[in-house]
């Protein structure tokens, strides 16, 4: 287990940090912008560090069948927890935001839901949700075999936040719209939401959906660090801790 943990972290950080620090240097030392083709390729490939690491850490080696098994886990009726968390998160972001930052200018009304769906699918599959194979599918699972749910989630959250550090050195990256401190707090909170969903549902797909929704909301709404925002996120986090802890204890009681 220790070797698997080290292997996962080494592959994740090596792929991501080589790409993202390279991206930062490229944008800093050349005339390229963060949104240009080569920097975007580096950014996208770097985001797949945890995904590739998870595939490399599958028991007995990688196969498409094993990957499908990891992705297809699901506990009956748990979809309602995922939907409740999604709706609550959307409500918090909507009530606390200063408006919409994403431009729908020129788009006919019937196209807006389609545009939002495309943005969400990108966030869930390419720019965030894809990481969940690693962070919740491998790392959270490994740590919860050795320690209780809360410290395991805190460790995963701290590592996950640290993994993002290079993005604050890529000039023009969208993550710089918020301070790293605010991002770190949100990242720890989001870790509890995602780990709770993973524990209660056994579904990596649900984690990808929640992660994708979060990234979509942060891209569409103008974030405001106000009392509604922090109280709303805090309530969600407390609920996640209660649900995740209960689900983790039920798993521990199951016969091996």
Give the tokens for residue 20: 């993202």
Predicted local distance difference test score (pLDDT) of residue 55: 96
Predicted local distance difference test score (pLDDT) of residue 255: 42
* pTM for this model (two decimals): 0.93
Residue 175 lies in a domain: yes
Residue 13 lies in a domain: no
CA dist 186 and 233 (Å) reads: 8
- Max CA-CA distance within the chain? 60
Residue 107 lies in a domain: yes
Report how many helices (DSSP H) and strands (DSSP E) the chain contains, helices first. 12, 0
Range 137-142, long-range pairs (CB < 8 A, 24+ positions): 137/54, 137/70, 137/198, 137/204, 137/207, 138/4, 138/8, 138/53, 138/54, 138/57, 139/5, 139/8, 139/9, 140/195, 140/198, 142/1, 142/4, 142/5, 142/8
If one counts the domains in the chain, the total is: 1
Residue 45 lies in a domain: no
Residue 20 lies in a domain: no
Residue 140 lies in a domain: yes
Predicted local distance difference test score (pLDDT) of residue 256: 38
Residues in the chain with pLDDT < 50? 254-256
Residue 205 lies in a domain: yes
**Residue 159 structural domain:** 75-253
User: Do the Cβ atoms of 12 and 138 come closer than 8 Å?
Assistant: no
Residue 157 lies in a domain: yes
Predicted local distance difference test score (pLDDT) of residue 223: 74
């Amino acid at each position: 287990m220790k070797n698997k943990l080290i292997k996962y972290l080494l592959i994740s950080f090596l792929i991501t940090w080589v790409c993202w620090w390279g991206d930062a240097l490229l944008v800093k030392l050349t005339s390229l912008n963060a949104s240009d083709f080569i920097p975007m390729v580096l950014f996208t490939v770097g985001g797949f560090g945890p995904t590739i690491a998870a595939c490399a850490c599958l028991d007995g080696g990688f196969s498409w069948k094993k990957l499908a098994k990891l992705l297809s886990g699901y506990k009956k009726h748990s979809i309602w927890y995922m939907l409740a968390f999604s709706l609550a998160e959307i409500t918090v972001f909507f009530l606390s935001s200063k408006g919409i930052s994403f431009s729908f200018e020129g788009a006919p009304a019937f196209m807006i839901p389609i545009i939002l769906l495309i943005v969400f699918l990108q966030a869930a599959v390419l720019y965030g949700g894809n990481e969940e194979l690693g962070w919740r599918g491998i790392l959270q699972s490994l740590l919860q075999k050795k320690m209780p749910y809360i410290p395991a989630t805190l460790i995963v959250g701290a590592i996950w936040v640290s993994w993002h550090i290079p993005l604050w050195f890529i000039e023009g990256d969208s993550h710089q719209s918020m301070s790293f401190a605010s991002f770190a707090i949100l990242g720890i909170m989001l870790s509890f939401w995602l780990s709770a969903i993973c524990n209660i549902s056994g579904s990596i797909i649900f984690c990808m959906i929640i992660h994708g929704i979060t990234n979509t909301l942060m891209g569409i709404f103008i974030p405001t660090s106000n009392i509604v925002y922090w109280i709303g996120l805090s309530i969600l986090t407390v609920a996640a801790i209660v649900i995740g802890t209960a689900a983790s204890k039920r798993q521990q009681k199951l016969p091996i």
